[in-house]
């Protein structure tokens, strides 16, 4: 058994860390305030290869592994949770299903643009009335010759506002429930696609969360991903891998908040000494760090299991649940350690506190994760 990162993973982590420190950290406050990630930063992250970390080199990805991807999302999220989820949703929810379920032609057609960041990917699954229960979806598709025509709407689409490549789920017969659902690869710049709004949110404010309407959106029938009726399976398996991305994002947000809280506790003096001399603060730091390390172990394990082609469904649910709850706990305590300053935007931990909450909700609420875990325990 070996709990140490390989030398290659350490080189990767240090390189990503240097990049994040110089290129992302100085922009994090602005990204939150302006509700957008600058195009130039997306271009720089793309140049670094962050958009295609584990996509094979033949499709212009970096060809690294899942653990490398987890490390990238974690390190980026230490400075900026919005940038972290940009990478995570793009990679896990758009690149991954095309890579796993796409035909060779589809991979060649769509992956190079995605893996190099020329297009940003997203998944279009959630609808206003369809969250955890995917089988009730009402966005409809029908075949017309060589085309698929889609009508309906999607909401809460992470990265949607980038108008890149989307994996869209729709049904051809609502009465078939999950068996009627298929997945399609769509270009969101097509006619028939309308942005209804980009949501204003509590946290990860730099990340687009978009509501779309589809009015006779026509796509080539060749853009069907997998086979007809396979959509539900594609969605579930995609979310499985996505949970490792969200766990990594949560881990990063927690790590970023912890680093700040630790540093602040050494600088801030009250009663004639740094507040880290107080046991009340010391116990907080010990709890925070321990929970981060525990969440990291299960997250890296889930990534390692995916890399080793093992069944990681339970571990991905556990790491998402564990890391997200670590993130909300650690960021809350980081604000507390900062006292009044923690409530002020310049100190950044208040943003991390806001950013952390969504990790307990999206890509399967933590209640759904508990259902997944307990079902597997009782199967």
Q: Which amino acids are annotated catalytic?
A: 363
Does 149 interact with other proteins (rule: CB under 8 A)?
Answer: no
Does 287 interact with other proteins (rule: CB under 8 A)?
Answer: no
Crossing angle of helices 66-79 and 81-90, in 10° steps, is: 150
- Which range in 62-70, 171-179, 209-217, 241-249 contacts other proteins by CB under 8 A? 62-70
Contact with other proteins (CB under 8 A) among 25, 35, 63, 172: 63
Do residues 67 and 119 touch, judged by C-beta distance below 8 A? no
Do residues 159 and 122 touch, judged by C-beta distance below 8 A? yes
Contact with other proteins (CB under 8 A) among 24, 27, 68, 193: 68
- Which range in 55-63, 221-229, 311-319, 352-360 contacts other proteins by CB under 8 A? 55-63
Local structure of 37: helix, strand or coil: coil
Sole residue written with tokens 């991390």: 352
Question: In whole angstroms, how close is the CB of 49 to other proteins at the nearest point?
Answer: 3
Closest CA to 327 of 345, 305, 304, 351: 351
CA atoms within 13 A on the CB side of 21: 7
Instruction: Report in angstroms the alpha-carbon separations of 285 from 278, 322, 348.
Output: 11, 18, 18
**CA–CA distance, 45 with 34 (Å, rounded to integer):** 19
Do residues 12 and 68 touch, judged by C-beta distance below 8 A? yes
Token digits of residue 342: 């923690």
- Which range in 46-54, 100-108, 201-209, 279-287 contacts other proteins by CB under 8 A? 46-54
Does 14 interact with other proteins (rule: CB under 8 A)?
Answer: yes
**CA–CA distance, 42 with 116 (Å, rounded to integer):** 10
Nearer to other proteins by Cβ, of 14 and 367: the residue is 14
Does 57 interact with other proteins (rule: CB under 8 A)?
Answer: yes
Does 266 interact with other proteins (rule: CB under 8 A)?
Answer: no
Nearer to other proteins by Cβ, of 47 and 173: the residue is 47
Nearer to other proteins by Cβ, of 63 and 153: the residue is 63
- Which range in 49-57, 80-88, 94-102, 146-154 contacts other proteins by CB under 8 A? 49-57
Binding site for other proteins (CB under 8 A): 7-8, 10-12, 14-15, 18-19, 47-50, 52-53, 57, 61-64, 68, 72
């Amino acid at each position: 058994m070996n709990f140490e990162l390989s030398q290659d993973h350490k080189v990767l982590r240090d390189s990503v860390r240097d990049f994040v420190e110089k290129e992302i950290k100085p922009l994090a406050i602005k990204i939150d305030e302006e509700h957008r990630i600058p195009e130039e930063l997306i271009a720089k992250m793309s140049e670094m290869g962050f958009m295609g970390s584990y996509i094979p080199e033949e499709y212009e990805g970096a060809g690294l592994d899942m653990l490398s991807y987890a490390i990238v999302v974690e390190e980026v999220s230490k400075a900026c949770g919005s940038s972290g989820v940009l990478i995570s949703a793009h990679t896990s929810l758009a690149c991954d299903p095309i890579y796993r379920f796409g035909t060779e032609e589809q991979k060649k057609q769509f992956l190079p643009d995605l893996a190099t960041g020329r297009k940003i990917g997203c998944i279009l699954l959630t609808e206003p009335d369809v969250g955890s229960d995917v089988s009730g979806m009402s966005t409809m598709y029908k075949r017309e010759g060589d085309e698929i025509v889609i009508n309906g709407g999607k909401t809460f689409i992470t990265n949607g506002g980038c108008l890149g490549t989307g994996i869209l789920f729709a049904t051809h017969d609502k009465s078939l429930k999950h068996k009627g659902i298929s997945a399609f690869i769509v270009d969101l710049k097509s006619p028939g696609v309308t942005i209804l709004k980009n949501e204003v949110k509590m946290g990860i404010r730099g990340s687009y969360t978009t509501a779309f309407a589809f009015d006779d959106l026509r796509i080539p029938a060749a853009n069907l991903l997998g086979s007809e009726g396979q959509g539900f399976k594609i969605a579930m398996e995609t979310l499985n891998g996505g949970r490792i991305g969200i766990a990594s994002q949560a881990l990063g947000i927690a790590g970023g908040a912890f680093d700040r809280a630790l540093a602040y506790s050494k600088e801030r003096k009250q009663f004639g000494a740094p507040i880290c001399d107080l046991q009340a603060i010391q116990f907080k730091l010990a709890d925070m760090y321990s929970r981060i390390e525990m969440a990291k172990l299960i997250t890296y394990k889930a990534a390692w299991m995916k890399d080793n082609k093992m069944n990681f469904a339970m571990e991905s649910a556990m790491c998402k649940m564990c890391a997200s709850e670590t993130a909300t706990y650690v960021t809350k305590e980081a604000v507390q350690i900062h006292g009044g300053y923690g409530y002020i935007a310049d100190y950044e931990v208040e943003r991390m506190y806001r950013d952390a909450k969504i990790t307990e909700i999206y890509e399967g609420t933590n209640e759904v994760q508990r259902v997944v875990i307990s079902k597997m325990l009782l199967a």
